Amino acid sequence: MSLAARFDRRPVVLIVIGALLAAALGTALVSGFRLATRLREDIAAVQAASALQAYPRELVREVSGLRERLEVRAYAGRALTTLRDSTRDFNERLQALAALDHDPARLASVQQRWRGYRAALAPVLEFRGEPYVDSDAASTRLSADGRGLYASLEHARLYALANAHGFDADLAAVTGDLQASASAAATRLRLLLQGGVLAALVLAAIAAWLLLSRARHERAAQEARERTRDILRTVREGFFLLDAEHRIGSVWSDALTQMFGREDFAGLGFRELLAGFVPETTIATALKYVDLLWGDRANENLMKTINPLSQLEVHSPDPLRREPRYLQFDFHRVTGAQGVKYVLCSVVDVTANVALARELQESQQGADAQLEMLIGMTRTDPLQLASFLDTADAGLKLVNAILRSPARSDADFRGKLAGLMRELHALKGEASALDLSGVADRLHALETRVSGCESRATLSGDDFLPIVAKLDELVAYLRGIREIAARLALTEHAAPASATDAIAPILEAAAARIALEHHKMLRVECNGFDAIPQSLAKALKDCLVQLVRNAAVHGIEDPELRRTRAKGDVGVVSARFARTADGYELTVEDDGAGIAPDEVKAVAVRRGLITEAQAAAMDTRAAIALIFRAGFSTAGEVSLGAGRGVGMDVVARTVRALGGRIGVATMPGKYTRFKIHVPTGGKDAAAAA
């Protein structure tokens, strides 16, 4: 038999031993009670027998005394009464003794003798006559009854004398027997009591051992419970048991409280646990999955692979905790003889792991982007790169300045958005033109954050935290480019880039990239850029970049369409700068699709910029002016090239800031021409930049 089996049977053995001892003790107690009763009766019998021993001689004495009274003719009534009383007493005591004695044979000879006594005494005791006769002649003499009485007394006296010794001996023997019996009973009682005490001691010892053993087990169980509690309090994982009804058991780890912000888990349904944190559809899927675990044929390892909660994104119902967390649920079946008893569920907050994985992914993407950037940089003219980096530096300083301006109300925050969008879009355009995709992507992401704020009902500083974080990322990225460029000596020894020198290559590069992306063929022709004053270079470069991108994306058709319109496959975008009598003129013209006013109006209505009624009342000139409105774009979706409706807004604002004006001429299917006029000595060009 194994040790464990032996250990398991120990309580049964103890119970049997205890029961036997209790039975023995009970028997001892009952026997002791009986013996004590018997002893008490024996002692009473001994006392009764002792008392009877005096009677035979007393009866002889009383019979003799009565006889003597009759002889001297004394009064005999009292003596006769005394004799009757003694006889009755003896008889009663003898009957009492017979009732006490458990051995009827012992009193047989005494009772035999007493019956003789009673027979001898009967005439005396039954005497009711007058024993004397008085006469004057012969004084007092015995009457006939008196003589009969005298004879009976004499007979009784002789009988008593003859049996006195035997009677004494019989009574003494009875007394002796009774004493011996009482003594034996007392001895048995003493032995019994000793046995009882011993049994009681053994029982007490067993009880004490059981109590100690139980206390030891309880202490061990308590320690085990405490250790379990310590484990559950310390582990960072949430643990709980689920029953077949999806209810949580009475034990769970404290980490669960931190994860779900509640403490009432006992009996809580799994559905209620997840409610508010994940969508209802996810909860339904989770419950179906848990149900599968209860099936006898479910393969746990296989089940793990389809666990829908292996990385669950949860959103706290607490509005202060907007950040999603990621919880990893793991399920293990707890089985018993009857099959699956519970499902043990462990929950781990893997938010940090997810964040780390993302960081790694971002880092990898960053490395890829850096490589791409490196390749792009080697393709980019050092002068243009240096110029862009300076522009970006200045642009992002301006972005940061917009962020730094104090804001408390929704209007304050909303007022920043347009400026941020304009600056970021202008930079993005230039980065795209130079094929610096890493920078353009980051600018696009930042622009997306800013753009996302526009649709929010109310804006606060919280909404700007992601923007400033992305800005920081971009600044760090640009710093990296500058460092790499310096290491590669791409810009270090280059002559300071002239802004005007850099414009044409930027436009050509932008056009080439857009042509490639949109499967178009186009050529940019630049004229007169060397005449652009340095003070206007930055502002006009921004305008040119936007206008050329606009022409490339929206104006120039793809070769197939151009052929149907009797045009050459290669579209032409020409940009000309010239001095005029009162200032400068910048013209950007493309031989593309032109602007269709009705299409512009329809898009504006669709984007909510104008109502249908306003559109209907709008003339062609006003319709074309819509393209300069912030938020207008005919592009179907937002991309690096177009779609936010910011580009032309940048142009319009820049020209306005320079104190200039902009004109548009177009013919659908033929061309579009933008003509920007900037007066000499207009507003501060730096401010416009």
> For the window 370-409, what string marks contact with other proteins as x by the rule CB under 8 A?
---------------------------x--x--xxxxxx-
For helices 461-487 and 410-433, angle between their N-to-C axes, nearest 10 degrees: 20
Q: What minimum distance in Å lies between the beta carbon of 468 and other proteins? A: 4
CA distances from 301 to 105, 244, 336, 611, 689 (A): 93, 20, 19, 60, 63
| 203 versus 475: smaller Cβ distance to other proteins | 475
Q: Which stretch binds other proteins (CB under 8 A): 110-118, 125-133, 412-420, 565-573?
A: 412-420
| 74 versus 418: smaller Cβ distance to other proteins | 418
Closest listed residue to residue 430, CA positions, set 440, 444, 438 = 440
Asked if 319 is part of the footprint of other proteins (rule: CB under 8 A), the reply reads no
| 27 versus 370: smaller Cβ distance to other proteins | 370
CA 278 to chain centre: 16
| 452 versus 461: smaller Cβ distance to other proteins | 461
Q: What minimum distance in Å lies between the beta carbon of 352 and other proteins? A: 7
Q: What minimum distance in Å lies between the beta carbon of 256 and other proteins? A: 16
The answer to whether 601 and 619 are in contact (CB under 8 A) is no
Asked if 419 is part of the footprint of other proteins (rule: CB under 8 A), the reply reads no
Q: Is residue 45 classed as helix, strand or coil in its secondary structure?
A: helix
Can you tell me the distance from the alpha carbon of 154 to that of 532, in angstroms, rounded to the nearest whole number? 183
Interstrand relation of 583-590 and 571-579 (parallel, antiparallel or unpaired) = antiparallel
| 468 versus 609: smaller Cβ distance to other proteins | 468
Residues 442-501 within binding reach of other proteins (CB under 8 A): 460-462, 464-466, 468-473, 475-476
Interstrand relation of 522-527 and 571-579 (parallel, antiparallel or unpaired) = parallel
CA distances from 187 to 35, 147, 184 (A): 10, 57, 5
Q: What minimum distance in Å lies between the beta carbon of 403 and other proteins? A: 4
User: Which residues 6+ apart lie within 8 Å of 57 measured at CB?
Assistant: 164, 168
| 111 versus 365: smaller Cβ distance to other proteins | 365
Using CB atoms within 10 A of its CB, is residue 20 exposed (0-12), middle (13-18) or buried (19+)?
A: exposed
Can you tell me the distance from the alpha carbon of 39 to that of 184, in angstroms, rounded to the nearest whole number? 9
| 128 versus 408: smaller Cβ distance to other proteins | 408
Asked if 127 is part of the footprint of other proteins (rule: CB under 8 A), the reply reads no
Length of the chain: 689
For residue 335, give the H/E element and its range. strand 325-336
Q: What minimum distance in Å lies between the beta carbon of 607 and other proteins? A: 27
Asked if 260 is part of the footprint of other proteins (rule: CB under 8 A), the reply reads no
Asked if 240 is part of the footprint of other proteins (rule: CB under 8 A), the reply reads no
| 119 versus 469: smaller Cβ distance to other proteins | 469
Asked if 412 is part of the footprint of other proteins (rule: CB under 8 A), the reply reads yes
Residues 337-366 within binding reach of other proteins (CB under 8 A): 352, 355, 359
The answer to whether 158 and 91 are in contact (CB under 8 A) is no
| 179 versus 346: smaller Cβ distance to other proteins | 346
Residue with tokens 């009967």: 122
Phi, psi (degrees; rounded to nearest 5) at 151 = -65, -40
Binding site for other proteins (CB under 8 A): 320, 322-323, 352, 355, 359, 397, 400, 403-408, 412-413, 416, 460-462, 464-466, 468-473, 475-476
